Amino acid sequence: MGYGRGVSASVSAPHPGPAPDREPGPRAVPRQDPRLQWAITLAVVAAAFVTVRPLDYSGRGLVVGALLVVNSVALLARHLPEARFPPRVAFVWLTAGVVAAAALIGVSRTGSGYLFAYFLVGHIGYRLPLKQALSLAALTSLLCTGVLYLRLGPGHEALPWTLGLTIGAPVVAGILSRSRQRAMEAMLSSAESAERAARAEARTAVLTERGRIARDVHDVLAHSLAGINMQLELADALIDTGDLEKVREANDKAHSMVKESLKQAQWTVHALREDSLPLLDSLSAMVESSGRRDALTVTGTVRELPPQVTQNLLRIAQEALTNAARHAPGGDAGVELTFDTASTTLRIRNGPATAEVPPGVGSGMGLIGMRERVALLGGTITAGPVTEGPDQGGWQVEAVIPG
């Protein structure tokens, strides 16, 4: 019978464009066509003015005309936005409407005047809380039953008084319509929440990936360029001394570091493409390129690790070896890779410096980057000075990755 009324709710609709951060606009909750609702209401009003009698400018006809106007206004008001009527005002308006509908039945002849009561009771079930709706529907049934039982209106002799009891029945249809509508709104609200969560997760994934790329760029550029710059500054300083042999040595070292930087850039491209690098071969090449042959020790049963674990272990080793070359030049360094049943451990230890440490300090991002990498893998990392043994006075970095 169309007791629901079309109102809009702010619900996200998926956006077809490529921008994931764009907020979707509101969309209407699917409901019955409001144009159909208006057509039904206007049809009821028109039928009442055509069929309800007496209708005149004096006496009973004037009363019937006034009640027709009141009932028409009460029925048309159901199409106004709910926000314009607080619950208390809606209750008063609908109560006055059903009283006017019962009064119209009492003073008029039979016709479509009954439809006002039916439609108003149905809207009561949709609009008001359950307790108020049932109470007002029962009041309407009692009023209409009393009118028919006491035969207050002309032409009601042929109608059974029990017909008045049925006028409260449409409240059930209104309640069911409201329940379906609330369920639809809850479902769409849940879908909106899920969509917002998905967008937040996507943004988090983007930020995580940006952080990973930033760490890779730092590892490739910051360390490599810093080392190359240091060698070129050394060569520039040696030119004034006239020691061409040392100038050539510094220049060769800078060339070697450029080649190593190209290798590191290749590793970064592999990581961004999620290609899998061979861990042992890459570690061996890294240690060998740093000038420390036979410095890699592998214990346990070697197994293939996930690409993400492999890439981050290589980056940690690269960071630690670069720091060792910068802060402890000439010192011994060793790399240990241990495969346990439940974890993989990478340990890089260097002894104290045996040559002059060049001036300048690092950016401080290296250790932060290593901690971020290990945290992404659910592992732990420790870094600190070596306080005993042959490498006392040196530095050790140890990363333990589960799995």
Q: Is residue 192 domain-resident?
A: no
> Would the pLDDT of 381 be above 80?
yes
Q: What is the pLDDT of residues 246-289, one digit of tens each?
A: 888 888 888 877 877 776 666 666 655 555 568 888 888 777 77
Q: Looking at 126, 150, 168, which one is the last position of a domain?
A: 168
Q: Is residue 261 domain-resident?
A: no
378, 319 contact by CB (below 8 A):
no
Query: Are 164 and 284 found together in one domain?
Result: no
Q: Is residue 349 domain-resident?
A: yes
Q: Looking at 137, 153, 168, which one is the last position of a domain?
A: 168
Q: Is residue 8 domain-resident?
A: no
Domain assignment of residue 53, given as a range: 33-168
Please give the single-letter amino acid code of residue 362.
G
Q: What is the pLDDT of residues 76-133, one digit of tens each?
A: 999 988 888 888 999 999 999 999 999 998 888 767 888 999 999 999 999 999 999 9
Q: What is the pLDDT of residues 178-237, one digit of tens each?
A: 899 889 989 998 899 988 988 888 888 778 777 767 776 666 666 677 778 777 887 888
Q: Is residue 220 domain-resident?
A: no
Two tokens at 182?
A: 């609330």
Q: What is the average per-residue pLDDT within 360-387?
A: 81
Return all residues near 99 (Cβ < 8 A) that are at least 6 apart: 143
Q: Is residue 118 domain-resident?
A: yes
Q: CATH number for the domain including 320?
A: 3.30.565.10
Q: Is residue 83 domain-resident?
A: yes
| Predicted local confidence at residue 20, as pLDDT | 43
Q: Is residue 82 domain-resident?
A: yes
Pairwise pLDDT comparison (345 vs 165), residue with the higher score: 345
| Predicted local confidence at residue 128, as pLDDT | 93
| Predicted local confidence at residue 122, as pLDDT | 93
Distance CA(275)–CA(306), nearest Å, equals: 10
Domain count, the chain: 2
> Which letter does DSSP use for residue 293 in this model?
T
Alpha-carbon torsion (310, 312, 313, 317), positive or negative: positive
| Predicted local confidence at residue 245, as pLDDT | 84
Please state, rounded to an integer, the average pLDDT across all residues of the chain.
81
Q: Looking at 138, 168, 198, which one is the last position of a domain?
A: 168
**pLDDT band at 9; cut points 50, 70, 90:** very low
